[in-house]
Structure 1
Amino acid sequence: MTDSKPTRLERIVTEGGAQAAILTIANPPLNLFDNAVFEAIAADVEDLTADPPRAVLLRAEGKLVSGGVDVHIFDGLSAAEGAQLWQALFARIIHPLEALPCPVIFSAHALCLTAAFEIALACDIILAAPKAKFGLVETVVGLTPSMGGPQRLAERAGSGRAREFVMTADLYDARTMADWGVVNAVHEDVDTAAHALLTKLADGPTRAHAATKEIVGAWRSGGVAHADSVTPQVSGPLFATDDLRGAVKSFLEIGPGKATYTGR
């Protein structure tokens, strides 16, 4: 990381030889989301889109994941400018992040507010430390979360929970969020757990993971019937991959758990 860039994108190679990536937010002391942070994350996501790894981990350094958005970026915006801000953040961060053809993990070690949590909700899997807390507190400035947080929270926890979460602007702990189905797992050492999961997913069948994301995305946009209709053309091509052919061969010859995946 340089002094001019509040994020760091590292590409690593697992022991199994797979490429993974770690995107770290580092904008001390509170990791506030200002224009520089949004621009840096957008640039990092563009980099990942241009050259996708086999798995991605988003995390933050410091005492907090994020204290939220620097409210200065809202000051003086017109209605049209506000709408343009959200359109840009969807187009440059949220939608491209969701569209990455590989698993994306978010690790929350502490307080995670507003934009950081909305980005977490755009990831495939969310891990949290027991002390982590989450909030969409935009109502304190007369705003509603507008980077996709309410609808993605509703998808995971139900519409009633989403309305409660946003309207009260309360903070909710990791265990509660896990009970709601928002957080996938709570770990005492969340950083170690996140890196282990990153390695496991990166060493796995990335083409199959991408197909899973596409099928689930079809369900999100059109329900079960739509997902059923796209599954054959999404899953069928997997039979032509070295991953599937090699895994089936190893399964038949030496049993499950011995396959080595190379495809992307």
Structure 2
Amino acid sequence: MLALRLRAPISPVSASLLRSRRALRHAALPSVRLMSTESQQEKQYEFILTSRPAEGVALITLNRPKALNALSTPLFTELNDAVKRFDEDDSVRALVLTGSDRAFAAGADIKEMKDKQFSEVFKGKFLESWGLLTTIRKPIIAAVSGYALGGGCELALMCDIILASPSAKFGQPEINIGVIPGGGGSQRLAHAIGKSRAMEIVLTGRNFTAQEASDWGMVSRVVPDEEGGVVKAAVDMAAVIASKSAIAVQAGKEVVNAAFEHTLAEGLRYERRLFHGMFATKDQKEGMSAFAEKRQPKWSHS
């Protein structure tokens, strides 16, 4: 949840994902080439940008460059609205969430929080709405460059898959301002990297690198800049996911998440029941028939 004033150079990203260098210096935001005119009709927001860079894929870009994408209630209100809209849109089957080269999100907006009182945050359920991302049925891929600290780290952990650029820096530095993580950092970090490492990160406030996050299993992989950049890799992965049966994808996400909520025996039963349920779908019949007939399946997502 910690927002810091940090200065770091902007790393180069694939030309296919960026505007001109002149525009980049002014905006400091990644841009993905749009693949359809539908993206021109997206709802306009103040603190986020939305587009559809590939078929079935929605891209959400945090857009507070002067504040290093510090997370605030207004930003999360817009983010929650966008993900809810995309979750209800059948033409979208996977989402990508990213920030800028300098910062995925450098933390929460301390100016918003510093004068709040206990009764206010308790009665107002402060930060509770930040967890809406975890209720979205469609997969969300975080494409992380630069700083992902405090709330930024927590936001990445709320996503289903994390891809990181070599410049990514993660951390939970709340201990440095006299508090603890409040957006799920201590809980999701412990699940992702284990108790001992999570305890070290939360109690010392030290940052850790993209490579450490990858070695510990928190990040799916680190994407070298020469491969086109982390946003392109995330969009490409989302496009692959979007090309599958939407019902199977959502069921797959549900059973993997269940592994963190159930015992092994309960999780196995839950997985088996959902697997059995897939036999009531048209996509199961089409997928298995296509395999037997040695052809590509034509999903109806039903």
The question of a shared fold, defined as TM-score above 0.5 by the shorter chain, is answered with yes
Matched to 1:104, the amino acid is: I
| Residue among 127, 134, 140 paired with 2:176 | 140
Task: Quote the residue 2:105 is aligned against.
Answer: 66
Count of residues in Structure 1 that have an aligned counterpart in Structure 2? 255
Q: How does 1:154-233 map to 2 (within 5 A)?
A: 154-188=190-224, 189-233=229-273
Q: How does 1:1-264 map to 2 (within 5 A)?
A: 5-11=46-52, 13-14=54-55, 19-29=56-66, 30-51=68-89, 53-84=92-123, 87-90=125-128, 92-94=129-131, 96-188=132-224, 189-254=229-294, 258-263=296-301
Q: Deviations along 1:5-40, whole A, 9 cap, x unmatched?
A: 1112324551xxxx2211110111211112321222
Gaps of 5+ in 1: none
CA distance in 1, matches of 2:54, 2:264: 37
The question of whether the paired residues in 1 share the 8 Å contact of 2:149 and 2:172 is answered with yes
CA distance in 1, matches of 2:44, 2:59: 19
Matched to 1:149, the amino acid is: G
CA distance in 2, matches of 1:262, 1:179: 38
CA distance in 1, matches of 2:126, 2:81: 13
Q: Deviations along 1:34-79, whole A, 9 cap, x unmatched?
A: 2321222122233234336210100113522122112111122222
Matched to 1:69, the amino acid is: A
Shift of 1:216: 2.4
CA distance in 1, matches of 2:201, 2:51: 33
Poorly superposed stretches of 4+, deviation over 4 Å: 1-4
Q: Deviations along 1:160-213, whole A, 9 cap, x unmatched?
A: 111111111111110000000001110012122111101001111221121122
CA distance in 2, matches of 1:3, 1:49: 17
CA distance in 1, matches of 2:258, 2:230: 31
CA distance in 2, matches of 1:72, 1:24: 22
Shift of 1:153: 0.9
The question of whether the paired residues in 1 share the 8 Å contact of 2:87 and 2:138 is answered with no
Shift of 1:104: 1.1
Shift of 1:111: 1.4
Shift of 1:238: 1.1
Q: Deviations along 1:211-254, whole A, 9 cap, x unmatched?
A: 12222232222221221232233222211222221111111111
Matched to 1:137, the amino acid is: P
Q: TM-score, normalised by structure 1?
A: 0.88
CA distance in 1, matches of 2:261, 2:209: 29
Against the structure 1 CA distance between its residues 43 and 131, is the aligned structure 2 distance closer, same or farther, given a 3 Å change threshold? same
The question of whether the paired residues in 1 share the 8 Å contact of 2:100 and 2:146 is answered with no
Q: TM-score, normalised by structure 2?
A: 0.78
CA distance in 1, matches of 2:262, 2:147: 34
- Give the number of the structure whose residues are more often helix, by fraction: 1
The question of whether the paired residues in 1 share the 8 Å contact of 2:83 and 2:133 is answered with yes
**SS across alignment from 2:57:** strand
The question of whether the paired residues in 1 share the 8 Å contact of 2:69 and 2:104 is answered with yes
**Larger CA deviation: 176-185 vs 234-243:** 234-243
CA distance in 2, matches of 1:166, 1:42: 26
Shift of 1:130: 0.9
Shift of 1:100: 1.8
Gaps of 5+ in 2: 1-41
Percent identity of equivalent pairs: 28
The question of whether the paired residues in 2 share the 8 Å contact of 1:101 and 1:209 is answered with no
The question of whether the paired residues in 1 share the 8 Å contact of 2:80 and 2:133 is answered with no
The question of whether the paired residues in 2 share the 8 Å contact of 1:113 and 1:137 is answered with yes
Matched to 1:75, the amino acid is: K
Shift of 1:133: 0.8
Shift of 1:3: 9.0
